[in-house]
Copies of this chain bind each other. A is one copy, B any other.
Amino acid sequence: MRRPSGYENDAAHEVYPDGIHETIAGFLADEGFDPRTATLDEPEHGLTEDVLEDTDVLTWWGHEAHEEVEDEVVERVHEQVLSGMGLLVLHSGHFSKIFKRLMGTTCDLKWRDDGERERLWLVEPGHPIAEGIEESIELPETEMYGEHFDVPAPDTLVFNSWFEGGEVFRSGCCYRRGAGRIFYFRPGHETYPIYHNPEIQKVVANAVSWASPISGPTLSRGHVPESPEKE
């Protein structure tokens, strides 16, 4: 999250006076989670080894400054996800280094910022991320993201978006990588009050629960000289 400058950031400042990260942390706290924040300008972007070791689910929002994120921190987050930490990637976070690193594709898409109406349709009605949600969520004004979204086919597609201008988008995508779970959720932009929408907040909170790590096994890797049949 950079210090605001110029028109667009004025707009962002009006919608999210304390930054998007504080809004997200705020509603997650209201839902009973214990959120902390970390921003680009902190040393190691606030994502030290100690912090990550102590994190169940990391929520990632970023825009424009993706290239300023240090590769070493990206590798650290990557390892942590494969070890079981959950990861939520929000909106323009599709172009973050960590999401591209985990997906192995360009994560590119179409976009147009005309304040179009979006409707997210639920395609997986029994999924825990859909708990308490209606069959569609309407957002009156959004930045459009359109297919083809260059990601691996999601392990589970939860939401499919319709846009006023004629595009569709796979807007709620679940992935499992290593022992970790990843949810990409499309809605959200710095100049629209998306993260003040109670349904969007509910989805984000559900996704944090869904992505929380289990107490799983230690996996043995590499050379295993003894066959289990000879033990």
Contact = CB atoms under 8 A, between A and B. Distances in A.
Which range contains the number of A residues in contact with the other chain? 35 or more
Interface in A65-105: 82, 84, 101-105
A172 to B, nearest CB: 12
B106 A82 contact: yes
Given A221-B108, A222-B108, A125 B179 contact: yes
State the copy count for this chain. 4
A156 B111 CA distance: 25
A177 B170 CA distance: 16
B181 A126 contact: yes
Contacts of A150: 82, 178, 221
Interface in A24-74: none
Contacts of A220: 110, 135
A131 interface: yes
Contact of A230 (B165, B175, B225, B229): B165
Contact of A215 (B108, B131, B170, B228): B131
Q: Sorted from nearest, which 7 A-B pairs have the closest CB atoms?
A: A165-B227, A126-B179, A166-B228, A104-B104, A166-B229, A131-B214, A135-B217
29 contacts: A82-B105, A82-B106, A82-B150, A106-B178, A110-B221, A111-B222, A114-B227, A119-B166, A121-B146, A121-B167, A122-B148, A125-B148, A125-B178, A125-B217, A126-B213, A130-B214, A134-B217, A135-B217, A136-B228, A146-B224, A147-B160, A150-B221, A152-B155, A160-B168, A160-B170, A164-B229, A165-B229, A165-B230, A168-B168
Interface of A: 82, 84, 101-106, 108-112, 114, 116, 119, 121-128, 130-136, 138, 146-150, 152-153, 155-157, 160-168, 170, 175-181, 213-225, 227-230
